[in-house]
Amino acid sequence: MHLPPPRLPLQTALVTICAAALWSILGVQRPPAPEAASLRVSLPTTAPEPTRAAAAAPTVQLHARSRSTARPTTQFASAGRTEICGYGAVERAVDDPDPLQRVPPAQRRAALDAADALMLASADPQVRAAALLIGAQARGDSRRARVDELVRLAVGSTDARVYAIALEACRGGEGAAEPGSACTLLSRAQWVRLDADNAQPWLALAAAARQRQEPEAEADAMHRAALARRSESNAGLLPSLVDRAFGPQTPSLAHTLALSASWGVQAAWASAYSAQAHAWCVGDAPAPDRHASCDALARTLAEQGTGLADLGVGLAIGRSLDWPAPRLLALQREHDALSAASAPPPVGADLGCEAVERAQGWMRQLAADGGERQALRALIARSGRSVEDWGALHRRGYAVALAAAAEAAAPSADAPSLAPPLLPSTDDAGALTH
């Protein structure tokens, strides 16, 4: 068995190629996934479902009407017609599939301003931090002022999530700040002090040291990461904070627009640093003095990590350290099943109320205790399919995608190597235990 290194662009593309086939075979409704290149929510194009939308109003509503007074369900037969929760029906433009662009600019800006004001007025520092980050990314004219305000909020806070949001706004803080920017006040060293029992800040600190070519500082951070008892990323954090600010009501236009923007910013956030563990423990030349730290870190990532990337990297490190075959096999089976469940759906643009609420339900699960892995486990449990079925689906899809990629491009000397299906067939699996 061999697990490919995490986050290889070509491998990510392969998973995307086979995504539609995976979900078509299962016939299971799955949660949506964001598009990194867009500031809108990307939702699966499933069979038409009833949707609700509050009628457009001349004044901005922060919360939609209660469900009991929402207007009747609407079905749209035309492929070019869709619905935006809190606004109503719109026609898609031929040259722009994003339905939000069909909302009049003045009304769109007023709704975003209302959402921004609501979040900035929150007593919750995490909600305020999210508003400042989302606004900094979406409003170029005030980016510097918003980032500086966010940094001041983080510097005066002991909340590790607020600090992580500020670091993201500064793209890492040290060395990346503009002259005179408040970002110079931030450091990853302070982040690890605020969340010392989480491996992710230590891995981020080690990655920065590697980039600066400071091997001693990198080794120190990696040894400390190995002492952490958990590994928690910030997956789903920003949309969950928008949701916290608005509450459980049916989304208004302001809510929908704020969610859309938060999905886009979240998709661009590299909120996990597990690849640093793979680089240090597997990618570098073998070093006996790293064995104990890599073993402890792999156990934390594989057993206590909240993200699928944590599981994959922990498994890869465990394999390089010759963990017992039954242990590797159990982790591999979970990895394959969760990978199939996490495959992105066909890209769509459904901003009807029910689709937005489904999206938010999924993001709440991502942001809850247990994170992505627990949310995917719950999805598999609800599907009625076994872990073995999902794992087999992943391996079939991977083989199909690998063949398609091989046909599309001839291999080159600098192309990353791709692994065969990650788990042996049922007939061969027993051989691993001998």
pLDDT of residue 39: 31
Max CA distance (Å), the chain: 72
Residue type, 369: D
Q: How far is CA 159 from the centre of its chain?
A: 21
pLDDT of residue 412: 55
Q: How far apart are CA 4 and CA 22, in angstroms?
A: 20
The answer to whether the CB of 119 falls within 8 A of the CB of 239 is: no
| Segment-wise mean pLDDT, segments of 10 residues, the chain, 434 residues | 40 38 38 35 31 36 42 43 82 74 86 94 97 86 89 96 95 56 92 97 96 96 97 89 84 86 86 90 92 97 93 96 96 93 58 81 78 90 91 89 82 48 38 33
State the chain's mean pLDDT as an integer. 76
In sequence order, the β-bridge partners of residue 89 are 83
Rg (CA), the chain: 23
In sequence order, the β-bridge partners of residue 351 are 84
pLDDT of residue 192: 96
SS3 content of the chain, % helix, strand, coil (to 5): 60, 5, 35
Backbone angles phi, psi at 230, to 5 degrees: -150, 165
Pick from 110, 293, 130, 313: which is nearest to 218 by CA? 293
pLDDT of residue 291: 96
pLDDT of residue 15: 38
Q: How far apart are CA 331 and CA 354, in angstroms?
A: 35
Domain ranges of the chain: 7-218+226-271+344-368+393-434
